[in-house]
Amino acid sequence: MIVVAIDGPAGAGKSTIAKALAKRIKLRYLDTGAMYRAVTFAAMNRKIELSDEAAIAKIASDCQMQIADESISIDGLDATAEIRGQEVTRAVSVVATNSLVRTELRNRQRKWVGDHGGGVVEGRDIGSVVFPEATLKVYLTASPMVRAKRRVEQSGGDVERIATEIAERDERDSSRSDSPLMKTSDSVTIDTSDISVDEVVDQIEQLLAKKRDDKKASQ
């Protein structure tokens, strides 16, 4: 089973690259950030305080989550557009510090990959915690300004303000005690600031081919 873990901060190009890679190598793609966003959306919809960890964890454990390549629904409600909105984006990193939620979503992620026979999985803790035995671990990064500009192109807004929000989210994602965003020693870092999506995907494909050759040689 092939599992490619793609981790990195917001705006590093994870979704675009993970999707393009999945298409190229004919695997399914899983956006784990969308799962944290969907739980956040459901909590906000039900007017649950983000500080009510047990109530939010209950949503994560009891909900029906339908994840497709381009859409996500939670308890029958299509959340695809709402999870990209500003409200969810501002609140999600708080929900992502909730260890009970993380445990639930990790189990769902592992099950999803098992059910689909592998995949390209994008997130923050994929190579470090969810799939420590992943076939290949890639850590994508880009300069703060490039990352902010990408977000503005996607969803609008003011670059300076978005840059500040991204920095705050990075700080929360990297400093939380449970599975923070980090590079593992066995991951390959690719800076996407100045290279095209195709070039990044080419590099990852070459890395995967090398892994395959190394494995064959060692058998």
Q: Which secondary-structure segment (H or E) carries 96? A: none
Q: Which is nearer to ligand DC, 92 or 163 (CB)?
A: 92
Would you say 156 or 219 has its CB closer to ligand DC?
A: 156
Q: Which is nearer to ligand DC, 69 or 213 (CB)?
A: 69
> Nearest approach, Cβ of 11 to ligand DC (angstroms)?
8
* Interatomic CA distance for residues 214 and 219, integer angstroms: 9
In whole angstroms, how close is the CB of 214 to ligand DC at the nearest point? 27
The helix (run of H) or strand (run of E) holding residue 141 is: strand 136-141
What is the closest distance, in whole angstroms, from the C-beta atom of residue 212 to ligand DC in the complex? 26
| 36, 105 Cβ separation under 8 angstroms | yes
Q: How far is the CB of 32 from ligand DC (least distance, A)?
A: 4
Binding site for ligand DC (CB under 6 A): 10, 32-33, 36-37, 92-93, 96, 123-126, 169, 173
Nearer to ligand DC, 161 or 212 (CB): 161
CA pair distance 196, 210, nearest whole angstrom: 21
Q: How big is the CA angle at 204 (ends 200 and 207), to the nearest 5 degrees? A: 140
